Chain A
Amino acid sequence: MRLRWKLTVASLKMFTRQKEAIIWTMLLPLFMVFLFGFVSFEGLEPIRIGVAGAKDEQAGRLVGRLGEVRTVQVTRGEESSELAQLKAGKRHLVLVLPEEFDPAGGSELRVLVNDGKPEETQLGLVILRKVLDDATFEMHSAPERIPMTIQSVASRRSSYIDFLLPGVLSLAIMQSGIFGVAFGFVSLRKRGVLRRLSVTPMRPQDFIAAQVTMRLMVLLAQIVLLVGVGIVFFDLQFMGRLLDLFAMGLLGGAVFLAIGFFLAGIAKTEDQVVPLANVVSLPMMLLSGVFFSRSNLPEPVRLVTEFFPLTYLADGMRSIVLEGSTLPTLWLQLAGLGLWSIVSIWLAVKVFRWE
């Protein structure tokens, strides 16, 4: 145990003293986030208002009036489903009417607002107030304003950075797993470092364990760094729990580390590592929905990418970050990564070479 720990500490030292490693694992993902984060892919969004509750005539008229406002899109539905849409960032406001809606007053209205989109919700509230007041005026000469209680709901802002950040995080985990391990290990083997180690009583598994521990520690640091930067600089709404993100990240890390060891096993020299690693990682980088949603892919391609380990990881991470999903609800991603880790570890063990 002590030996493994000392080896881990030594590996961490070596890692942190290696400029390239820091650049690739820490700075490059940050750079991507900054690059894309400050590029706005969004125009002016229409204000999406959901209406729930009463379905009577008066309610229908209200919806009609709202719909007449040019920048507003109205939908009707049950409160629960509209709330879910709000949380997912697909509504800016949800107006909850009482059982029977009377514009003349009396009953109180509830408005749920998306707290991630302050501009749109502010505008939406002003429009809503105006439309309600108009309706009240029509009924009464001495109108009494209908009271509205406003309830802020933590919701996903559908901004690009929110989509991007968990994707880049998954990508960073994949890259440092595959490239870091494959390149590092082949280089140690080729330079004879591993041979030198093998005349000591150290067992190879001690060394592998230390390497894996070191890489997983770096991975946790990557998560903290990227999420931290997202929160500080990009107002990322981190909805989930860090522990869930860690767990998902570690499982993904296991898959990609094993792929790294697998490639180290089949590559003879450092020169062979890079193309091999690229063959594995490039399709995932481009097709696993890291930078752009997979829904735009042609159907057969999309279906295949469904099974990429990076897709599972990116989807899982994204769901934790943006929707606050907990692990049990992400069973599909966990199962996918679990299967991949079994397969890739099996492959890695099969081709593993110390010399």
Chain B
Amino acid sequence: MPPVILAVNNLCKRYGELVAVDRVSFSVHRQEIFGILGPNGAGKTSTLEMIETLRPIDTGMVMLDGLDVQKHPRQVQQRIGVQLQAASFFEKLNLTELLLLFGELYGRPVDPLKLLGEVDLQDRAKAQVDQLSGGQQQRFSVAAALVNDPLLVFLDEPTTGLDPQARRHLWGVIRRIRSEGKTVVLTTHYMEEAEELCDRVAIMDRGRIVADAPPQKLIGDLLASGFKQARVERLASLEDVFLHLTGHALQED
């Protein structure tokens, strides 16, 4: 198994009375796509943002590439790329200018066209963010998360609000990022996304991690426990129908 690049240990976050993150521990290995799956309000964003140095950690510890996140926030920021759940970019700058500017923030040169190529947006290089579709905006914020050639990329619900095709397109992009040797940590509400995309999934509910394993193992364990689906198994889902009718997935190929 590849070495651990991110180790989260007993992480806690409270907002007043509410315990949003409750003794969360997990570790992520190099070049893994690690998913945090959970319903609204489970504490996914809070967890990610504590790791990303964006929110103060109440208690617990995060080691990222051997660095204590609380002690060395700046070095950590150099090593990570972040897509936030709710964030936007400067208006009035085009994608190329934005990526160059973000490169400056990290003090490193950037090849905007190459980065845009990685998320299939080369042809929108001169567009501004508000001229992009939702899916393109998501892909752009992934590109922006890659300007510093990070070891670890955090994507908070990268595919929420996208249609199935755009979602699959983004999966392709994420897999490509991983194939370049990066590690990806993402959150999602979508079961099939976790199942298809992630090497390992942590299921989070009400601030706690209730399971952490490869998706096939989670399913296997469930079946092994004698679980039977309530409804009759179908051979195709509505999503398959949709994809079939609207022309197929990965536009990149």
A→B interface (CB under 8 Å): 2-3, 6-7, 10, 13-14, 17-18, 188, 191-193, 195-202
Main SS of chain B's interface residues?
Answer: loop
Of all chain A residues, the one with the shortest Cβ separation from B103 is A6
The docked-state distance in angstroms from the alpha carbon of A261 to that of B241 is: 54
> Which residues does chain B contribute within 8 Å of A196, judged by CB atoms?
82, 84, 87-89, 144
Q: Is B74 part of the binding interface, using a Cβ–Cβ cutoff of 8 Å? A: yes
* Cβ distance B133 to chain A, nearest Cβ, rounded Å: 18
Cβ–Cβ contact A199 & B101, under 8 A: no
**Interface membership of chain B positions 80-98, coded 1 if the CB is closer than 8 angstroms to chain A and 0 otherwise:** 1010101111111100010
The docked-state distance in angstroms from the alpha carbon of A188 to that of B88 is: 9
The docked-state distance in angstroms from the alpha carbon of A317 to that of B78 is: 47
> Which residues does chain A contribute within 8 Å of B105, judged by CB atoms?
3, 197, 200-202
> Which residues does chain A contribute within 8 Å of B90, judged by CB atoms?
10, 14, 188, 193
> Which residues does chain B contribute within 8 Å of A193, judged by CB atoms?
87-90
Of all chain A residues, the one with the shortest Cβ separation from B101 is A10
B→A interface (CB under 8 Å): 52-54, 74, 77-78, 80, 82, 84, 86-93, 97, 101-102, 104-107, 144, 148
Contact of A195 among B54, B80, B101, B102 (CB under 8 A): B54
Cβ–Cβ contact B93 & A200, under 8 A: no
Main SS of chain A's interface residues?
Answer: helix
The docked-state distance in angstroms from the alpha carbon of A3 to that of B97 is: 14
Cβ–Cβ contact B104 & A199, under 8 A: no
> Which residues does chain A contribute within 8 Å of B80, judged by CB atoms?
199
> Which residues does chain A contribute within 8 Å of B91, judged by CB atoms?
14, 18
Cβ–Cβ contact A10 & B77, under 8 A: no
Q: A3-B104, A3-B107, A6-B104 are in contact. Are A199 and B92 (CB under 8 A)?
A: no
Of all chain A residues, the one with the shortest Cβ separation from B89 is A193
> Which residues does chain A contribute within 8 Å of B93, judged by CB atoms?
10, 13-14
Cβ–Cβ contact A201 & B74, under 8 A: yes
The docked-state distance in angstroms from the alpha carbon of A114 to that of B110 is: 62
| Additional 14 contacts, C-beta under 8 A, given A6-B101, A192-B86, A199-B53 | A10-B93, A10-B101, A13-B92, A14-B90, A14-B91, A14-B92, A14-B93, A193-B89, A195-B54, A196-B84, A196-B89, A197-B105, A199-B80, A199-B84
Q: A192-B84, A195-B87 are in contact. Are A201 and B92 (CB under 8 A)?
A: no
Of all chain B residues, the one with the shortest Cβ separation from A190 is B88
Cβ–Cβ contact B101 & A17, under 8 A: no
Cβ–Cβ contact B97 & A10, under 8 A: yes
The docked-state distance in angstroms from the alpha carbon of A193 to that of B102 is: 12
> Which residues does chain B contribute within 8 Å of A7, judged by CB atoms?
101, 104
Cβ–Cβ contact A198 & B87, under 8 A: no
* Cβ distance B110 to chain A, nearest Cβ, rounded Å: 12
> Which residues does chain A contribute within 8 Å of B92, judged by CB atoms?
13-14, 17-18
> Which residues does chain B contribute within 8 Å of A188, judged by CB atoms?
90
The docked-state distance in angstroms from the alpha carbon of A17 to that of B87 is: 22
> Which residues does chain A contribute within 8 Å of B86, judged by CB atoms?
192
Of all chain B residues, the one with the shortest Cβ separation from A15 is B92
Q: A10-B97, A13-B92 are in contact. Are A200 and B54 (CB under 8 A)?
A: no
List 21 A–B pairs whose Cβ atoms lie within 8 Å, in order of A's numbering: A3-B104, A3-B105, A6-B104, A10-B90, A13-B92, A14-B90, A14-B92, A18-B91, A191-B88, A193-B89, A195-B87, A196-B82, A196-B87, A199-B77, A199-B80, A199-B82, A200-B77, A200-B102, A200-B148, A201-B106, A202-B105
The docked-state distance in angstroms from the alpha carbon of A71 to that of B148 is: 78
Of all chain B residues, the one with the shortest Cβ separation from A21 is B92
The docked-state distance in angstroms from the alpha carbon of A192 to that of B102 is: 15
The docked-state distance in angstroms from the alpha carbon of A198 to that of B91 is: 17
> Which residues does chain B contribute within 8 Å of A199, judged by CB atoms?
52-54, 77, 80, 82, 84
The docked-state distance in angstroms from the alpha carbon of A163 to that of B87 is: 47
* Cβ distance B103 to chain A, nearest Cβ, rounded Å: 9
